[in-house]
Structure 1
Amino acid sequence: MDFTLTEEQRDFQALLRTFVDKEIVPVAREWEHSGRYPTEIVDGMKEMGLFGITVPEEYGGLDLDPVSFALVFEELSRGWMGIAGILGSHSLACRIIALHGTTEQQQRYLPALATGERRTGIGLTEPDAGTDLQGIRTTARLDGDHYVVNGTKMWITNARYADPLPVLVKTDPQASPAHAGMSLLLVDADLPGFEVLRDIDKLGYKGTESCEVLLDGVRVPADRLVGGVEGKGMQQALSGLEWGRVNIAARSVGIAQRAYEEALAYAQQRKAFGQPIADFQAIQLKLGDLATEVQAARLMAYWAADAVRRGRADGATGMAKIFCSEVALASAIDAMKVHGGYGYSTEYEVERLYRDAMLMNIGEGTNDILRTVVARAVVTGKTVIG
């Protein structure tokens, strides 16, 4: 049993870490607080080919294995979790198109998505439908050779840059069960009736926008139906969300790692009673717990990523997302405690890490919902423990 990265993965990790330390870490706090969009960082990710991490090589992508995929989000989130968000939904949408799109759809979109010339996201969540995707109200009615789409989507990452935006719709609102009447449509941004209404203010997760999107009588060509067959949208979306949980688990590890690094550095340089606070047992206990939990979360994330490589892994990815996200939040809180009053100041990194960590517990399925997913996997024998 080998718990180490391959030489190729270690080289890739080192390349990512250099990019993050040079291009992201020095500007993250200032840009996050000012609300500045990280255009230069996005350009750097384009140059590295990171927009193609889930695009097949035949279309110009890197087509990374799931563990290498996790490394990307761990390292980016160590610098600034919002940057990982720019790449996250884009990568999931690319994977959905690569897995389920028609040959014509793949040829039309994937080459430009791989280079970052085009970017994308995924339009699932609605004002009254988050975890319960079967409760969406956006409809698509076939009218000749076009679908007429009406509805509203919420919390859409990359909405102002997504072209196309895969949108989950009900092509048969009367279907039972509801998911049998759901489909994914690739909606081009320049279609009349497609409008990004507003950016939603957030506690954290800055750098990338989260928007409300209106689809008012948008006429989408019928050949933009993902896979060309109605009623497959839920399965198509869920196939992407499995990788999405690896994405969130890895982002959580990145946040936790940075929290540990900040706590360790502060404890070594901050003095009290004439000595570094790292010499006090109370601080040492926190640092010991931090180091242990971060490493446990990292191994859990890589294990889940490898489970995805080996086949469907709802249980493993659910476990990893739950555990890693809770470690991220606990690590951010403990790092704030090590910093004392300064941890509450916007002049230090840890307050941003705390704000970003909270989203990891909520995004890509709340942890309480995912506990039921894990339980089903265990009860049905799809995931075996021990």
Structure 2
Amino acid sequence: MSTPGMDTDVFEQFIEQLHRYVRERLIPAEREIIETDRIPDEILDEMRDMGLFGLTMPEEFGGAGMNVTQYAQTIRTLSYAMPAFRSIISINIGMVCSALKNGGTDAQKAEWLPRLAAGEIASFGLTEPGSGSDSAAMQTMAVRSGNGWVLNGTKRYITNAPFAKVALIMARTSKEALPKNAHVSAFLVPMDTPGVSVGKSDKKMGQSGSHIADIIMEDVHLPADALLGDTEGRGFVTAMQSLDNGRISVGAAATGYARRALDSALRYANERKAFGEPIAQFQLIQQMLADSEIEIYAAESMLADVTARADRGENVLRKAAAFKVFATEMCGRVVDRVVQVYGGAGYLAEYDAERFFRDARIYRIYEGTTQILQLQIAKHMLREWKAEQG
């Protein structure tokens, strides 16, 4: 079943407007954000007015109703600017909205989707101090209490935790590890619920203006309808389905940021002179520029393919993982070459190349590390091969 998405003409006008907004408003604001480590409230309000928090939410809930292809193109366009702008909206859209659409009850959708589309900020709580992709090691527990639940545990490295109004929290509803991760359920937790607290923002290598912190839950009492989908044991499955969208979003972000870095290197190579001519004239500089262009084009092609497949209703788990791995590793190689093109200046904080290098490093880690995704891809390949052998 194909996903129609936003009207094509309206979408093209939106992308053109966003392209201008990124270059005329967001990029000039980057220095201030680096100095203050926060996105100004007026820019957040502008992003809300543009509908950036509700890109894929159904129109009946106040969203734009974009399909996956349109969403990914929007993220790639936005991610030409520093990563904080994508980070603040992406958890709402790629993770929590996706989980609600796939697994929420009608009442949960009616309550939360309009609030998320309007720009209330959400967090997604899977990772813990002792577990990430390993759900069997998850410690956060949800225990039935009367008609509701009591949650206890700590979530680590949670994006947007200091700003969030709601978090989608994964918690064990069974002490035993069950097949297909049925011991994990998902809960919608308003952040002002008694017993919920947020640790101080972690200091990071890069991505100024984007914040991560611990979410600590101590005897947090939740009503029965906080359980996503009103069903136990579906939390991890819902989380993994949401991660497909999240991985496409990270891949699209890495592709957009690689383009920004390469454009910067092109400009610098034409301005910087050595031996009496621009360094852009030197063949080994040209090789680094060309290799970067080739790899960005490959990532753009993968992005177009995986999103088209998702919109046709195909299971894209493996291809979304493959795209995320390639695009993020590609971005790492591009920003490394960009530092090299800048030479000594690339190591100085006053030039952009140094920041691009630090910002891009996390793309290979969050929403599934390259290594975890390689294992996942191989596992699915081997499973399919065995099935074909009968």
TM-score w.r.t. the length of structure 2 is: 0.93
Q: Which amino acid aligns with 1:287?
A: L
Tell me how far apart the structure 1 counterparts of residues 333 and 9 of structure 2 sit (CA, whole Å). Answer: 32
SS in 2 for 1:155: strand
Counterpart check, 1:353 vs 2:356 = yes
SS in 2 for 1:211: strand
1:374 and 1:149, CA in 2 relative to 1: closer, same or farther beyond 3 A? same
Tell me how far apart the structure 2 counterparts of residues 198 and 20 of structure 1 sit (CA, whole Å). Answer: 30
1:204 and 1:272, CA in 2 relative to 1: closer, same or farther beyond 3 A? same
Tell me how far apart the structure 2 counterparts of residues 133 and 23 of structure 1 sit (CA, whole Å). Answer: 41
1:151-170 equivalent positions in 2, closer than 5 A: 151-170=153-172
Asked whether the 8 Å contact 1:55–1:114 carries over to 2, the reply is yes
Paired residues in the alignment total 376
Tell me how far apart the structure 1 counterparts of residues 303 and 217 of structure 2 sit (CA, whole Å). Answer: 36
1:237-248 equivalent positions in 2, closer than 5 A: 237-248=239-250
Q: Which amino acid aligns with 2:150?
A: V
For residue 183 of structure 1, report the CA deviation from its aligned partner. 0.6
**Structure 1 partner of 2:317:** 314
1:230-273 CA deviation, whole Å, 9 max, x = no partner? Answer: 11101111110011110111011011101110000001111112
Give structure 2 stretches of 5+ with no counterpart. 1-7, 386-390
Q: Which amino acid aligns with 1:305?
A: T
Asked whether the 8 Å contact 2:339–2:353 carries over to 1, the reply is yes
**Structure 1 partner of 2:58:** 56
Q: Which amino acid aligns with 2:370?
A: N
TM-score w.r.t. the length of structure 1 is: 0.94
SS in 1 for 2:343: helix
- Greater shift, 342-351 or 148-157, is seen at 342-351
For residue 37 of structure 1, report the CA deviation from its aligned partner. 3.2
Question: What is the CA RMSD across the aligned residues, in angstroms?
Answer: 1.6
Tell me how far apart the structure 1 counterparts of residues 292 and 61 of structure 2 sit (CA, whole Å). Answer: 42
1:250-297 CA deviation, whole Å, 9 max, x = no partner? Answer: 011011101110000001111112211111112111111111111111
Asked whether the 8 Å contact 2:207–2:359 carries over to 1, the reply is yes
**Structure 1 partner of 2:380:** 377
For residue 86 of structure 1, report the CA deviation from its aligned partner. 0.9
Tell me how far apart the structure 2 counterparts of residues 359 and 369 of structure 1 sit (CA, whole Å). Answer: 14
Tell me how far apart the structure 1 counterparts of residues 143 and 137 of structure 2 sit (CA, whole Å). Answer: 17
Asked whether the 8 Å contact 1:134–1:178 carries over to 2, the reply is no
For residue 312 of structure 1, report the CA deviation from its aligned partner. 1.3
Asked whether the 8 Å contact 1:278–1:284 carries over to 2, the reply is yes
For residue 63 of structure 1, report the CA deviation from its aligned partner. 2.1
**Structure 2 partner of 1:113:** 116
Give structure 1 stretches of 5+ with no counterpart. 1-5
SS in 2 for 1:364: coil
For residue 174 of structure 1, report the CA deviation from its aligned partner. 2.1
**Structure 2 partner of 1:31:** 33
**Structure 1 partner of 2:132:** 130
1:1-386 equivalent positions in 2, closer than 5 A: 9-91=11-93, 92-116=95-119, 118-177=120-179, 179-310=181-312, 311-381=314-384
For residue 12 of structure 1, report the CA deviation from its aligned partner. 3.3
SS in 2 for 1:72: helix
1:13-39 CA deviation, whole Å, 9 max, x = no partner? Answer: 322211111221112134224323332
Tell me how far apart the structure 2 counterparts of residues 178 and 290 of structure 1 sit (CA, whole Å). Answer: 40
- Greater shift, 168-177 or 227-236, is seen at 168-177
- Greater shift, 327-336 or 205-214, is seen at 205-214
Tell me how far apart the structure 2 counterparts of residues 172 and 34 of structure 1 sit (CA, whole Å). Answer: 43
Tell me how far apart the structure 2 counterparts of residues 234 and 134 of structure 1 sit (CA, whole Å). Answer: 11
